[in-house]
Amino acid sequence: MDVLKIAAFSDGDTGGNPAGVLIDDVLPDAAEMQRLAAEVGFSETAFAAPDGERWRVRYFSPESEVPFCGHATIALGAALVRQFGDGIFPLTLNQASITVEGFRDGANVVAALQSPPTKSRPAPPELITEALALFGYSPSDLDPAIPPALIHGGADHLVLPLKSRDVLAAMHYELKAGQAFMRREGLVTVLLAYAETPRLFHTRNPFASGGVYEDPATGASTAAFAGYLRDIGWPHGGAIDIVQGEDMGMRSRLHADIPPAPGSSIRVSGTARMMDEA
């Protein structure tokens, strides 16, 4: 089977988060999708097949299925644009219905997804304490302006806002311990975020639940985080930009548009580049 390799949320012609994309007439069975995702080895691979006027989509990491993956959706949008032309493509996920749209921009594709609805709630103190210890932090490393929270925008995440870029860069953890923590708590990733300005954030995303130490660009957590900032009345001005992956040497750029309605979908956009043609 021909699995495309596409870097989503790239910084022009470099960086981004690699995703596998397989478009076929019918979806393979779950075991075969899991095998292919492990063989590709990227943090996620998206599998898509036509379903009437929509596309049925499932996402697999090397070790497990995930309900929603932003960067793999952007990569899928790029693949659909290259095959069918510019447009908006309705997607049916395991637990939600969303869209991805895209248009060609030279050799690359600019794509945008509409996330599932968002929600958030305060993180329990004991969960915060355990997460801080896991990543080598103390309570004094947190940004007092943005409380830690459990956030959702198609998948569940814990966000730990940090007080400086240096603190963000110092993140470290043991993969197996992180995997046990995230799987026990039902978290797809933990989002570590630093606010350079009210509209510009630097983030890191440990993805131990899927067997990946860190993701260089994470659209699902970006959508969930944008929804959370809306929930707490953060002065986002209707949109935020995120720089991710710098500490991995894979600088990525994500943009999130934030409508005012509580819980409504977040539009997350960025550039996708074909890795096979790089």
Q: Catalytic: which of 39, 44, 65, 130?
A: 44
Rounded Cα distance between 228 and 239, Å, is: 13
**The 3-state secondary structure of the chain, one letter per residue:** CCCEEEEEEEECCECCEEEEEEECCCCCCHHHHHHHHHHHCCCEEEEEEEECCEEEEEEECCCCEECCCHHHHHHHHHHHHHHHCCEEEEEECCCCEEEEEEEEECCEEEEEEECCCCEEEECCHHHHHHHHHHCCCCHHHECCCCCCEEEECCCEEEEEEECCHHHHHCCCCCHHHHHHHHHHHCCCEEEEEEEEECCEEEEEEEEHHHCEEEECCCHHHHHHHHHHHHHCCCCCCCEEEEEECHHHCCCEEEEEECCCCCCCCCEEEEEEEECCCC
Task: Work out whether strand 200-207 and strand 239-244 pair parallel, antiparallel, or are unpaired.
Answer: parallel
- Residue 44 annotated in active site: yes
All residues at 6 or more sequence positions from 177 whose CB lies less than 8 Å from its CB, including other chains: 134
**Residue numbers annotated as active site:** 44
